[in-house]
Amino acid sequence: MKPPEIAQAITYANQIDPRLQITDPLVDVWVTGLSHVRADLAKWAIQKYYADANGDGKGSQPITPAAIRRLITAEASKRESQQRALEPPKNKAHKVSDFRKRNPELYDELYQQGREQFYADLKAKGINATPPWETSQAVVDDSGSSYAQGGGQ
């Protein structure tokens, strides 16, 4: 902000809180503290500061450039974290086959663990289900192809 905008911000804050006295040293402090802040953000921070203050005005201090910067920084950080939460992870495997190609042993181990957990959950719910790997066995035919053949019970 430029000095005239900062003077407007001080006047705006003074109209809300008359305890904030407009003096040349105060203007100098605000110019030093808010020279890199946008005017619309400073106005928003002044509004937010006094909107969140006690209803009777007791216990709150007149606004300072540090409070304005702190409010703006906190809001920017909050919005940034909300935006990051909406973005998908950058290092995530997009396809199962990509993960399987990179680490086939771990993939097979996790796949089998998931299958076993699924059937354990079914049994815990009282559903009798026999895992296919317990009832079928792989058979290789004359052409070299393999397929599952059901086992007898």
Strand, coil or helix: 107: helix
Give pLDDT tens digits for 17-61.
888 888 888 889 999 999 899 999 999 999 999 888 776 655 578
d(CA 131, CA 68): 64
Q: Give the global pTM.
A: 0.55
Residue 85, amino acid: A
Q: What DSSP assignment string belongs to 55-106?
A: TT-TTPPPP-HHHHHHHHHHHHHHHHHHHHHHSPPTT--SSHHHHHHH-HHH
